[in-house]
Amino acid sequence: MYDIDTGSIGALNHVSQPGFKYSKAEVLLLDLRQPGEFSDDLFTVIQPAEVSRVMAVLDEINGRGGRGTLRAASVPSKPDWGMRREI
């Protein structure tokens, strides 16, 4: 299985050049599964191992780059609303 983190760092090392300024960008990872691999049922209890591995990689990247470095495409970067948090 291809490691997203290793591949992205390798690609950055390949294309980056000294003296150039780079900007942060978003990459959308949509439908990373084979057809029939699992259902889109909201109430399913069993998640395939691949989902756990992808989530572990995303958590690792977010741990290094800060919260929200990678997020689901359905989650806006600046939502119009948020949960009220009062104590």
Single-letter code of the amino acid located at 53: R
**Domain residue limits, the chain:** 1-9+24-75
Instruction: Round to whole Å and give the CA distance between 75 and 85.
Output: 19
Measure CA 64 to chain center. 13
pLDDT per residue as tens digits for the range 5-39: 777 788 888 888 888 887 877 777 776 766 666 55
Residue closest to 38 by CA, chosen among 50, 24, 56: 50
pLDDT value at position 76?
72
* Digit-coded pLDDT (tens) for 33-65: 666 665 556 566 666 677 778 888 888 888 888
